[in-house]
């Protein structure tokens, strides 16, 4: 007979979302069972954010060698060791892994089961030989790489984010299907580490971002030698004597054929819903994931779903944000509501591309002519000039009464600058607030203040204000 556990909370999935819920609940002395069938830390630690950013850091170091002479630094030619770059990725994962480990969470008082979990009824989960009957369940099983139904793909070796970082030898020619953030980050990383790279995108590359700012990234990647084929859909993949042949058609229907040594599929994510017994639990779901309300509850009121499995924006920081909401609901019975409008995201290419809040088109759709778009260019920033990083632009979207509605930025350290703007947006700050803060000189953060000040650019021309100033001068 199976063992029975009766915790207060059962969390399924030990990725970013599930770990955050388990740690927070355990900190308050709540009895928690955490179930994970794969690696602790989930996709972000093992296959996603951590290894990709580590590889980008290695690639950035390699690329910096080519830029040394403009700063008066001259040195001999140095070779890129791809295996050593991969070693750096492994070391970074190993350094972070203890924080997400089974041992740490058991030390926090969490019961960790390394099994596949499956609902057997609306209020019971089976994990191996253990039955769990909890007051509440949190499903946080994440997502996996979506594999498109391209003829021939199943017959050739291809990479996804789960296998890419296992490569020890540099790809001679890496073909990438997908021109989103993952595809383009890995395109630039491998190009800078010495590979030839071709990217296929059926629509517009970086299509979810501001088109003017996204163009700056795409122009930079092309200048580095990456071939980006937009509006070009892959229709066939096959083996060749030396690797792979990718057949596609462009927007005009003309055939495009590329031979490559390696193929990376980066066409989005699919929620991990299979094998969970969601129907037995009465949990509504489809190919996009588990359906949840604004409070992240499923159709089974005992069960919450957070992170990639809940559809919507698929980012580690969204998983953490949702975990915080669920903890407030689970432990304190507080009403919570997911707000997509305050979620930032960053593409970590060089230059970086960041966004938070409403886009310009979304803001105009809601507020019409009351929207103002304010900009500040990197070439007008002293820190950018000093470091030779002058290609970039910040856009602030200001709404009624100067309230910040959104922001987009492309340029060096865009991800760090968007942090400030994410805080400002969540606190409903205005251009007056952003124009009034003191930024240390010289920093890229001054871009925010400069753009905000431009909201008042017409004030000196205001006849009433000029008259008021003249009147006040009469008093000495």
pLDDT in tens, 340-373: 999 999 999 999 999 999 999 999 999 999 999 9
Using CA of residue 179, residue 181, residue 182, residue 187, what is the dihedral sign? positive
CATH class of 153-268: alpha beta
DSSP string, 410-461: EETTHHHHHHHHHHHHHTT-BHHHHHHSPPPSS-TTHHHHHHHHGGGTTGGG
123 has pLDDT over 90: yes
Which pair of tokens denotes residue 376? Answer: 């500040």
The boundaries of every CATH 3.50.50.60 domain in the chain are 3-145+270-340, 153-268
Q: Are 106 and 112 in contact (CB under 8 A)?
A: yes
Q: How do residues 224-264 score in pLDDT, each as one tens digit?
A: 999 999 999 999 999 988 899 999 999 999 999 999 999 99
pTM, rounded to two decimals: 0.94
Q: How do residues 2-40 score in pLDDT, each as one tens digit?
A: 699 999 999 999 999 999 999 999 999 999 999 999 999
CB neighbours of residue 190 within 10 Å:
26
Distance CA 17, CA 60 (A): 30
List the alpha helices (DSSP H) in 35-180.
42-46, 49-64, 82-96, 102-107, 161-164
Fold of 3-145+270-340: FAD/NAD(P)-binding domain (3.50.50)
The boundaries of every CATH 3.30.390.30 domain in the chain are 351-457
- Mean pLDDT, rounded, for 283-295: 96
Q: Are 23 and 150 in contact (CB under 8 A)?
A: no
- Which superfamily, per CATH, for 351-457? FAD/NAD-linked reductase, C-terminal dimerisation domain (3.30.390.30)
Q: How do residues 407-436 score in pLDDT, each as one tens digit?
A: 999 999 999 999 999 999 999 999 999 999
What confidence score (pLDDT) does residue 466 get?
76
DSSP string, 128-169: TTEEE--SEEEE---EEE-----TTGGGS--B-HHHHTT--S
Q: Are 110 and 33 in contact (CB under 8 A)?
A: yes
């Amino acid at each position: 007979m199976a063992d029975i556990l009766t915790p207060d909370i059962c969390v399924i999935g030990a990725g970013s979302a599930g770990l955050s819920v388990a740690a927070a609940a355990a900190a308050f002395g709540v009895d928690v069972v955490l179930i994970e069938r794969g690696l602790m830390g989930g996709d972000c630690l093992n296959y996603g954010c951590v290894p990709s950013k580590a590889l980008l850091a290695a690639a950035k170091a390699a690329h910096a060698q080519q830029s040394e002479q403009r700063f008066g630094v001259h040195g001999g030619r140095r070779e890129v060791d791809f295996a050593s770059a991969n070693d750096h990725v492994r070391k970074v994962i190993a350094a972070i892994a203890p924080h997400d480990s089974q041992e740490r969470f058991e030390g926090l008082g969490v019961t960790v089961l390394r099994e596949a979990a499956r609902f057997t009824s609306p209020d019971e989960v089976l994990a191996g030989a253990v039955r769990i009957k909890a007051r509440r369940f949190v499903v946080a099983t994440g997502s996996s790489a979506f594999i498109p139904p391209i003829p021939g793909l199943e017959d050739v070796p291809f990479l996804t984010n789960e296998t890419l970082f296992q490569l020890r030898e540099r790809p001679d020619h890496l073909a990438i299907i997908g021109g989103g953030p993952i595809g383009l980050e890995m395109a630039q990383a491998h190009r800078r580490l010495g590979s030839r790279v071709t990217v296929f995108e059926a629509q517009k590359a970086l299509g979810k971002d501001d088109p003017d700012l996204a163009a700056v990234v795409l122009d930079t990647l092309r200048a580095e030698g990456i071939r980006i084929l937009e509006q070009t859909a892959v229709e066939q993949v096959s083996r060749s004597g030396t690797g792979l042949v990718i057949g596609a058609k462009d927007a005009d229907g003309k055939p495009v054929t590329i031979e490559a040594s390696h193929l990376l599929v980066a066409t989005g994510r699919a929620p991990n819903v299979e094998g969970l017994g969601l129907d037995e639990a009465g949990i509504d779901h489809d190919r996009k994931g588990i359906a949840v309300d604004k409070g992240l509850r499923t159709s089974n009121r005992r069960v919450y779903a957070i992170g990639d499995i809940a559809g919507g924006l698929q980012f580690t920081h969204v998983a953490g944000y949702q975990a915080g909401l669920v903890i407030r609901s689970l432990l304190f019975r507080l009403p919570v509501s997911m707000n997509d409008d305050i979620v930032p995201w960053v593409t970590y290419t060089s230059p970086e591309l960041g966004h938070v809040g409403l886009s310009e088109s979304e803001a105009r759709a809601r507020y019409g002519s009351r929207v103002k778009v304010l900009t500040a260019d990197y070439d007008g920033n002293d820190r950018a000039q000093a470091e030779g990083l002058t290609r970039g632009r910040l856009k602030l979207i200001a709404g009624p009464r100067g309230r910040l509605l959104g922001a987009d930025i492309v340029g060096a350290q865009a991800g760090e600058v968007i942090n400030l703007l994410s805080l400002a947006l969540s606190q409903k700050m205005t251009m007056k607030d952003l124009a009034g803060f003191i930024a240390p000189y010289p920093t890229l953060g001054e871009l925010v203040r400069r753009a905000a000040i431009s909201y008042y650019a017409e004030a000196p021309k205001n006849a009433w204000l000029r008259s008021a100033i003249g009147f006040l001068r009469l008093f000495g």
